[in-house]
Amino acid sequence: MLKNTRILVTGGAGYIGSHTLRLLGEKGADILVVDNLSSGYREFITYGELKKVDIGNLSAMKETLSSFRPRIVIHFAAFIQAEESVRNPMKYYLNNLSKTIMLLQAMQEAGVELFIFSSSAAVYGLTDTVPIPEGAPFRPANPYGRSKAAVETVLQDLSNAGAIRFVSLRYFNASGASIDARLGERHRPETHLIPLLLKTAKGELPSFTIYGDDYPTPDGTCIRDYIHVLDLAEAHVLAAEYLLSGADSAVFNCGYGRGYSVREVVDVVKKVTGVDFPVNIGPRRPGDPPVLIADPARIKQTLGWKPRYDDLEFIVKTAWEWERKESSQ
Ligand code: UFG
C-alpha cells in the first residue's frame, strides 16, 4: 500500500526517524526528509532526499509541502530529554509545541491531511496504572511530557473539526539498533540508559550511576518498557496504512507490556557484554516517573502490530554491535 506513496518525514535523520525511514523506503514509499540536522545525521538517511529546513519556518514548509504534495506527514522532529525540559521548558514548548503547530498550519494551507505524531509515554508520567491503557489521564512529570500532551490535544481538536486525520504513537523506551548495525542511537550528549551502560562497558566512561534507588518499586529503581526501535518503526508503517485506508484518528501505545528496572537492565548489559563495571547510586533525576509500562492491546488489535524483538537481551545485543561499530570509526 505504501509503494510510490509520497511521505514527508520530519526528523528523519534522528534515531527513531532513520529506522522508520529505512523501512518505508524498503516498502517503496517516495520519501522527502525534512531535518535541520540540529541532532540528526545526514548519514542516517538511507532513502529519500534531505531538505534542510526548520519545521518552524512556515513559508519554507508551505513551499516544501506544496511542491512535494505528500499524502502523509510523519513528524519525529523534537527534543527528547525530560530532565533538560525541567531546566529549560521554553526550549521544549517552542520546539515541540509551537513548531508542531506551525507545521500543522503549513499542512493545512498546503492541503495535506494525514499526520503521524511521535508522542510519548511521558504523557502518562505519574500515573499509578500499570500497565497503562491509552484511556489513562495525562499526568506528565515534566515539561517534555506536557509538550507532547499539549500537541495531542491540538491534534484531537483539529481532527474533531475535520481538518486532519492523525495517529499518535505513544512511544515507551525506544532502544536497540538495526540488525546490520547500519543505524543506531547517537545522541550528543548521550543521556539514555542502555547507550550509557554500553559506553561504560566499553571503557569510555569510568562508571555508571543509577539515578535513585528509593522509588516505590521492588528493587527501588525506575521501571521502563524497552521497545526495540525496529518494532517501533513497524508501528509507523502500520499507522500509515491505517490512515491511507480512510480510518479515523487514533492513539496507540507502543511498548511490549512488561517492564525492567534500571538494576535489571544493568545486569543484562553486563551479561551481554561480558564486562563487569562499577555501578554507583546517585540522587534521583528530576522529572523521572517511577514506572511506565504500556498496555499494547489496542495497537495489536487495531493495527495488527506483532512485536518481533520483545527480548531485552536481543535489544542490548543490537545496541552493543552498534556501539562497537561507532567506536571503530
Ligand atoms: N538512568 C539512570 N542512569 C543514567 C541514565 C538513566 O539510572 O545514567 C535511568 C533513568 O533515571 C530512568 C531509566 O534509566 O529511570 C531510563 O532513562 P532514559 O533516559 O533512558 O529514558 P527515559 O525513561 O527518561 O525517557 C525515554 C525517552 C523519552 C520518552 C521516555 C518514555 O528519552 O523521550 O523514554 O518512557 F518519553
Statement: residue 223 has pLDDT above 90: yes
- Output the CA 30–ligand 1 centroid distance in Å: 34
32-51 residue pLDDT tens = 999 999 999 999 999 999 99
- Choose which residue among 262, 267, 277, 316 to substitute to test ligand 1 binding: the one with the highest number of ligand atoms within 8 A of its C-beta: 262
d(CA 133, CA 123): 12
d(CA 192, CA 177): 14
- Output the CA 289–ligand 1 centroid distance in Å: 9
87-112 residue pLDDT tens = 999 999 999 999 999 999 999 999 99
**Sorting pLDDT into bands at 50, 70 and 90, what band is 329?**
low
Using DSSP's 3-state secondary structure scheme, residue 8 falls into strand
Tell whether 268 and 170 lie within a shared domain. no
Q: In the sheet that 223-224 helps form, which strands lie side by side, from edge to edge?
A: 260-261, 223-224, 291-292
Which whole number is the average pLDDT over 121-125? 97
pTM confidence score = 0.98
Tell whether 212 and 313 lie within a shared domain. yes
Tell whether 203 and 249 lie within a shared domain. no
272-278 long-range contacts (CB < 8 A, ≥24 apart) are 272/313, 272/316, 272/317, 272/320, 273/198, 273/201, 273/320, 275/201, 275/202, 277/200, 277/201, 277/207, 277/208, 278/206, 278/207, 278/208
Tell whether 41 and 129 lie within a shared domain. yes
Question: Average per-residue pLDDT in the chain?
Answer: 97
264-295 residue pLDDT tens = 999 999 999 999 999 999 999 998 999 999 99
The pLDDT value given to residue 285: 94
Report if residue 186 sits inside a domain: no
**Sorting pLDDT into bands at 50, 70 and 90, what band is 200?**
very high
Return the H-helix or E-strand segment holding 64. Answer: helix 58-68
- Output the CA 188–ligand 1 centroid distance in Å: 15
Report if residue 304 sits inside a domain: yes
The pLDDT value given to residue 84: 95
- Nearest CA residue ID for atom 19, ligand 1: 192
* 144: annotated active-site residue: yes
Tell whether 139 and 236 lie within a shared domain. yes
Which whole number is the average pLDDT over 237-255? 98
The pLDDT value given to residue 95: 97
Identify the CATH number of the domain in which residue 105 sits. Answer: 3.40.50.720
Report if residue 207 sits inside a domain: yes
Report if residue 184 sits inside a domain: no
The tally of domains found in the chain comes to 2
Tell whether 141 and 41 lie within a shared domain. yes
The pLDDT value given to residue 150: 98
> At a CB cut-off of 8 Å and minimum separation 6, what does 88 contact?
none
Tell whether 105 and 25 lie within a shared domain. yes
164-188 residue pLDDT tens = 999 999 999 999 999 999 999 999 9
Tell whether 72 and 131 lie within a shared domain. yes
Spatial CA neighbour of 185 closest among 38, 31, 316, 290? 316
Tell whether 218 and 282 lie within a shared domain. yes
Tell whether 247 and 261 lie within a shared domain. no
Which is catalytic among the residues 124, 144, 242, 260? 144
Domain of 273, in residue numbers = 193-224+257-328
Give how far Cα 52 sits from Cα of 11, 38, 42, Å: 10, 10, 10
Statement: residue 311 has pLDDT above 70: yes
Q: Which residues line ligand 1 (CB under 6 A)?
A: 80, 82, 120-122, 172-173, 191-193, 196, 209-211, 222, 224, 262, 285, 288, 292
Report if residue 85 sits inside a domain: yes
- Output the CA 238–ligand 1 centroid distance in Å: 26
Identify the CATH number of the domain in which residue 199 sits. Answer: 3.90.25.10
Tell whether 82 and 165 lie within a shared domain. yes
48-66 residue pLDDT tens = 999 999 999 999 999 999 9
Tell whether 50 and 10 lie within a shared domain. yes
